[in-house]
Amino acid sequence: MTAKTLSQLKDELPVLERELVECTTLVNSVNQLGAHVQTLTTAHALGNATATQLLEAQNRHNEAIAAIVRQQLLTKSVFEQKQMIAFAEAQEKRAFIDKIGTDFADVRQRYVIESKKLLEIFKEMARLNNLSISMRSHQLMADGDWRLDLPALRSPNDSELFTVGSMVRSGDIK
């Protein structure tokens, strides 16, 4: 047997609930139907009701009595269906949360790769800036250009009091 989807479980619940309501209505009518059978039995004995009418009333009363067991089973089924829906919803939510984590890890990996590429571009800019300073004493990079910060390239033990740009400027990153 294959597992049902959340959608299938939710679609089946109203059917079970409707059946339970109908069954409960039938169970609630047992006494009334029993009284009706007694009335028809007397009427049949007096010749005021047909055997067919009496049999129909007895069959309806028997259905109501049989519905007592069915009502208990339907109540249990509705309860279990609701539990399965809650479980399936929790599984879907967990899968969604896991996907968010996986997606984040993928984006984080891409961020680190792109940060490394950006660092290489930045180091080339710094090299050209230093070359310009040495050749004609002219700085190409403004002080603000050195504020490059690439947190993805730091280790977790690094303090946050520096930027990657300042480390390139000081020669700590080559």
How far apart are the C-alpha atoms of 36 and 43, rounded to whole Å? 10
In this predicted structure, the answer to whether residue 4 has a pLDDT above a threshold of 90 is no
Q: Which phi and psi angles does 38 have, rounded to 5°?
A: -60, -40
Per domain, the residue ranges of the chain are: 6-109, 111-170
Residue 126, judged by CB atoms within 10 A of its CB (0-12, 13-18, 19+), counts as buried
Candidates 107, 39, 10, 28; CA nearest to 64 is 28
If 0-12 CB within 10 Å is exposed, 13-18 middle and 19+ buried, where does residue 10 land?
Answer: middle
Residue with tokens 């939710």: 10
> What local confidence, expressed as pLDDT, does residue 24 receive?
95
Note whether 114 and 156 are within 8 A (CB): no
pLDDT band at 125 (very low <50, low <70, confident <90, very high): confident
Query: pLDDT for 27-63, tens place per residue?
Result: 999 999 999 999 999 999 999 999 999 999 999 999 9
Which pLDDT belongs to residue 144?
76
Residue 95: what pLDDT?
95
pTM for the model: 0.60
> What does the pLDDT read at residue 166?
65
Chosen CATH of 6-109 out of 3.90.660, 1.10.287, 1.10.10, 1.10.860: 1.10.287
Question: What is the pLDDT, as a whole number, of residue 62?
Answer: 94
Q: What angle do CA 92, 94, 95 make, to 5 degrees?
A: 65
| Residue predicted with more confidence, 139 or 90 | 90
Q: Which amino acid is at 115?
A: S
Let me know: does 67 contact 23? Beta carbons within 8 Å. Answer: yes
Residue 172 pLDDT > 70, yes or no? no
pLDDT at 87: 94
The mean pLDDT of the chain is: 87
Question: Do 13 and 81 touch, CB atoms closer than 8 A?
Answer: yes
Q: Give the residue, 147 or 127, on which the prediction is more confident.
A: 127
